[in-house]
Structure 1
Amino acid sequence: MKPAKDDIGSRLGWPKRFLVRLLHIYFALSRGMTLGVRAACFDAEGRVFLVRHTYVPGWHLPGGGVERGETALDALTKELREEGNLVMTAAPLLFQVYFNHAISGRDHVLLYRVAVQQTAIRPPDREIAEAGFFSLSDLPADTTAATRQRLAELAGLAAPAGYWS
């Protein structure tokens, strides 16, 4: 059974909703299917790295889209560097492929589990409002339901879902 769609539009102001919609129209025209990468990044202390974007509410696992001519691993490496000044200390492990029906009827997300080290604190900018490592037992209150679900799946507390929701 298909889970209920998360209405992210109701949580954003109209300018941000408009911008997100424009980006997805562009992606629909420029790509047959969209593919993204996300990573559950753990440091040596077992803490998970999360980001809070400026354009959507809540704390999320870092990640982004795979561009034309780019491998998923290249996209993952780039997104971890850009969103957190993170470098992988071991090969990433592909955990699950999800269908992200809340975004479009063509979006898929590859979720990796990654051991990382941060090379420098990630300062805020126009994309990332905040970023940091958190204990799994002390996540920020506004960590998204999808992020909490992915962490539960990774911990073996829930079966991996087919949908990113």
Structure 2
Amino acid sequence: MVAWRYRAAGRAMRLYARIVRPRTFGVRALVLDPAGRVALVRHHYIDGWYLPGGGVDRGESADAAIRRELIEEVGLRAVTIAGLLGVYHNRGEAKDDHVVVYRCVVDDPAALRAADRREIAEAGWFSLDALPDGTSPATRRRIDEHRAGAHGIGRW
């Protein structure tokens, strides 16, 4: 019941972005557990699997934003930021979005869950070589960069 509201809100936000074209600043986390699996989320408002993350609020640092997003979306509080994967420019869906992707690690994979059930339909750990069907192309590119030991920059 709540999912349709988030899906409608997501469509409205994408329509707004096409009209206004605001510049936004976001963060994502490539979170790995001790087994080397990556945490992915599936939202109610858009199809596919993605790295957890979201927008940076006014007056908030990027590292504070990713910590907040990991708590809000997937319930991960004990996260170590291991470094930066890259900084990307997303022009998809009429966006003008800059995204900072952090490499993060957790010691307790059991803590991962869909913390905000209104936004997150599902959260899970996945082997880097067995990602779920529907994993977004940008998410796959970020994971490939990580596997190659590369630092990303440029196109989302």
TM-score (norm. length: structure 2)? 0.81
Report what 2:118 is aligned to. Answer: 126
Query: Are residues 1:51 and 2:45 paired?
Result: no
Cα root mean square deviation, aligned: 2.7
The within-5 A match list for 1:1-165 is 16-22=10-16, 28=22, 33-104=23-94, 106-116=96-106, 117-118=108-109, 119=111, 121-122=113-114, 125-156=117-148, 160-164=152-156
Decide whether aligned partners of structure 1 residues 73 and 141 sit closer, same or farther in structure 2, where only a CA change above 3 A counts.
same
- Pairwise CA distance, 1:139: 1.1
- Of the structure 1 ranges 102-111 and 44-53, higher mean CA displacement relative to structure 2 is found in 102-111
- Counterpart CA distance in 1 for 2:114 and 2:65 is 18
Q: Determine which structure has the larger helix proportion and give its number.
A: 2
Q: Deviations over 1:79-128 (max 9, x none)?
A: 01111111344233112110001144531000111002343633562211
Contact 1:88 1:114 in 2 (8 A): no
Of structures 1 and 2, the one scoring higher in RCO (CA 8 A, sep 6+) is: 2
Report what 1:5 is aligned to. Answer: none
Task: Figure out how many residues of one structure are paired with residues of the other and give that number.
Answer: 148
- Structure 1, unaligned stretches of length 5 or more? 1-12
Contact 1:96 1:111 in 2 (8 A): yes
Contact 2:81 2:102 in 1 (8 A): no
- Counterpart CA distance in 2 for 1:115 and 1:157 is 15
- Structure 2, unaligned stretches of length 5 or more? 1-6
Runs of 4+ in 1 over 4 A off after TM superposition: 13-16, 23-27
> Percent sequence identity over matched residues?
44
- Counterpart CA distance in 1 for 2:17 and 2:92 is 14
One-letter code aligned to 2:74: G
Q: Determine which structure has the larger strand proportion and give its number.
A: 2
- Pairwise CA distance, 1:148: 0.7
- Counterpart CA distance in 2 for 1:24 and 1:64 is 19
- Counterpart CA distance in 2 for 1:111 and 1:27 is 22
Contact 2:90 2:97 in 1 (8 A): yes
- Pairwise CA distance, 1:42: 0.3
